Amino acid sequence: MVLAETIKSKLEVLANPEKAKQLERFFKTGPGQYGEGDKFLGITIPEQRKIAKLNFRDCSLDQLSILIMSEVHDHRMTALLMLVAGAESRTGRADPKPYVEFYFRHLDWINNWDLIDITCPKILGPWFFERDRTKLVELATADNLWHQRISIISTYYFIRQQDYTTTFEIADILFDHSHDLIHKAVGWMLREVGNRDPQAERDYLDPCYKSMPRTMLRYAIEKFPEEERLAYLHGEI
């Protein structure tokens, strides 16, 4: 069995202090910022993913729990990448339920946008696609920025299956949110809808785009033809 401490040691070898400082600035770890206090080793995602793929089969969920509760961002990310590898594996543990339950038990440590964006569409999305989605929608109403982002980004999986209902439902809940990380997330998911069904996105936008947060709108219409994009920005649709 691979222990959490072994994974930490493997990551420590790859630590890059200069890059860590850059990432701490990028992920807003200063006082009062959304990532306040988060610590980085400065390891790239490809490097972490390689460690995850090599070790996930021999690392128990109990050891992943130790890893994900670390104060070090790279430890949490690697734990989540191992969870994704396990959930997606056809030769490993085939039942996705333990991975979903693990994800919900550790929501408090899935606390930055990169941790969310890389993992929840691959773990929560497939699980809820053919199940009741109430729990996912409830995350959108939680008083927690990261839970709310998980709720909308998880629908990326639904969008890929040409199912947009829950994306629009959660977008409605988050429409008046105050944080730009939610504006960007909702706008991104609306844009992904439009990449597959432009009319479905327009049908959602047209009644509400004038009151939509500006960042959300810009993200949503980023791929529109230039003339149409400007018409939305200027309120001329």
Could you tell me which of 1, 47, 43, 37 has the C-alpha nearest to residue 19?
43
Looking at residue 87, its pLDDT comes to 85
pTM: 0.94
Domain ranges in the chain are 1-129, 132-237
Q: How confident is the model at residue 90 (pLDDT cuts 50, 70, 90)?
A: low
* pLDDT for 42 beyond 90: yes
* pLDDT for 69 beyond 70: yes
* pLDDT for 91 beyond 80: no
| Three-point CA angle 91, 93, 98, nearest 5° | 155
* pLDDT for 237 beyond 70: yes
CATH topology for 132-237?
A: Leucine-rich Repeat Variant (1.25.10)
Mean predicted confidence (pLDDT) in 197-218: 97
Q: How confident is the model at residue 125 (pLDDT cuts 50, 70, 90)?
A: very high
What is the DSSP-derived secondary structure letter of residue 202? Answer: H
Mean predicted confidence (pLDDT) in 155-182: 98
Site of tokens 């050891």: 63
Looking at residue 92, its pLDDT comes to 47
Looking at residue 1, its pLDDT comes to 87
Mean predicted confidence (pLDDT) in 46-61: 93
Q: Are 119 and 81 in contact (CB under 8 A)?
A: yes
pLDDT digits 0-9 by tens, 95-119: 788 999 999 999 999 999 999 999 9
Mean predicted confidence (pLDDT) in 48-69: 94
Distance CA 170, CA 70 (A): 30
Could you tell me which of 165, 215, 159 has the C-alpha nearest to residue 185?
215
Looking at residue 86, its pLDDT comes to 87
* pLDDT for 177 beyond 50: yes
* pLDDT for 170 beyond 50: yes
Q: Are 223 and 191 in contact (CB under 8 A)?
A: yes
pLDDT above 90: percentage of residues in the chain: 92
In this structure, of 7-21, 91-105, 223-237, the range with the lowest mean pLDDT score is 91-105
Mean predicted confidence (pLDDT) in 35-44: 96
pLDDT above 70: percentage of residues in the chain: 98
* pLDDT for 89 beyond 90: no
Mean predicted confidence (pLDDT) in 136-147: 97
Mean predicted confidence (pLDDT) in 145-171: 98
On average, the pLDDT of the chain sits at: 95
Listing DSSP states for 61-73 in one string gives: HHHHHHHHTSSBH
